[in-house]
Amino acid sequence: MTSTPPQTPTPVLELSGIVKEYPGSPPLRILHGLDLTIEAGELLAVVGPSGSGKSTLLALLGSLDRPTSGRLRFEGRDVSNLSDAELAALRAHRIGFVFQQFFLLSGLTTVENVATGLLYSGAGLSERRARAAAALRSVGLGHRLDHHPDQLSGGEKQRVAIARALVGRPALLLADEPTGALDSVSGTAVVDLLRTLNADGTTVVVITHDRELAASFPRRIGIHDGRIDFDERAPQPTGAGL
């Protein structure tokens, strides 16, 4: 009797020969044939200076934009030829976004802001609010459910944004300069939260210009002039006595 070998998990993202150009004479090429694979459960930083192509790469990873050429697979599915409606559904159900600017609605409470992350899920109002409250508790803001954004600190606002990104239980969390608008203490707390979420199984990609922050992640990908400059991983600890 033969045993079935274990199946290799499907990567969350696979980029093959990704090119991104904008119209012009000549066209402006931002990304130059990127090859990149991101496995489920990874925690990694994409680091590079302003103008390196980080934001363009983020837009492609999150299906906010389309590549000019090349192939992009999300969970094994080629998304290059999906319709706008299909891409919107993919983002709504499988991808969470956190940005440097929190994009919270001032007229809504924190629980109402987080519940907006479920508007396209088909869930009813009571379920959306219950899941939003649970997400806020998971990021340590169970005592701020009825507060408005102007009653929160910068670090608390970013945690609300993270809760909103996670409330739909996405496969991938993309964080664009999540500590850029925060003081060092609040920034450290947000990074610690991202690490905790990753430890619970969420794939987390952080886009940053901060090389010190990137160096603290298990995997670092450097972008320079629209090309991958380096892709390195922290050494894995070896077991005692091996």
8 compared with 106, residue with greater pLDDT: 106
Task: State the Cα–Cα distance between residues 88 and 67, nearest whole angstrom.
Answer: 16
Q: What is the pLDDT of residue 241?
A: 44
Answer whether 147's CB lies under 8 Å from 153's CB.
no
Domains held by the chain: number: 1
Q: Is the pLDDT of residue 242 over 50?
A: no
Tokens coding 135: 């997400």
Tell me phi and psi for residue 33, to 5 degrees: 65, 55
What pairing do the DSSP bridges indicate for beta strands 219-224 and 28-38?
unpaired
Task: State the Cα–Cα distance between residues 170 and 40, nearest whole angstrom.
Answer: 12
Domain that holds residue 35: 13-233
Percent above pLDDT 90 for the chain = 74
In a domain, 25, yes or no: yes
In a domain, 19, yes or no: yes
Q: What is the pLDDT of residue 12?
A: 95
Answer whether 26's CB lies under 8 Å from 40's CB.
no
Sign of CA dihedral 195, 197, 201, 207: negative
Q: Is 155 left (phi over 0), alpha (psi -120 to 50) or beta?
A: alpha
In a domain, 214, yes or no: yes
Q: Is the pLDDT of residue 28 over 50?
A: yes
Answer whether 173's CB lies under 8 Å from 96's CB.
yes
What is the per-residue pLDDT across 41-89, written as a single tens digit (0 to 9) for each? 999 999 999 899 999 999 999 999 999 999 999 999 999 889 999 998 8
Burial (0-12, 13-18, 19+ Cβ within 10 Å), 156? buried
Whole-model pTM: value is: 0.89
In a domain, 7, yes or no: no
What lies within 8 Å, CB to CB, of 232 at 6+ separation is 219, 220
Range 23-26 contact pairs with CB under 8 angstroms and sequence separation of 24 or more: none
In a domain, 2, yes or no: no
In a domain, 169, yes or no: yes
What is the per-residue pLDDT across 114-172, written as a single tens digit (0 to 9) for each? 999 998 777 889 999 999 999 999 999 999 999 999 999 999 999 999 999 999 889 99
In a domain, 1, yes or no: no
* CATH for 102: 3.40.50.300
In a domain, 8, yes or no: no
Task: State the Cα–Cα distance between residues 17 and 66, nearest whole angstrom.
Answer: 13
What is the arithmetic mean of pLDDT over 15-40? 95
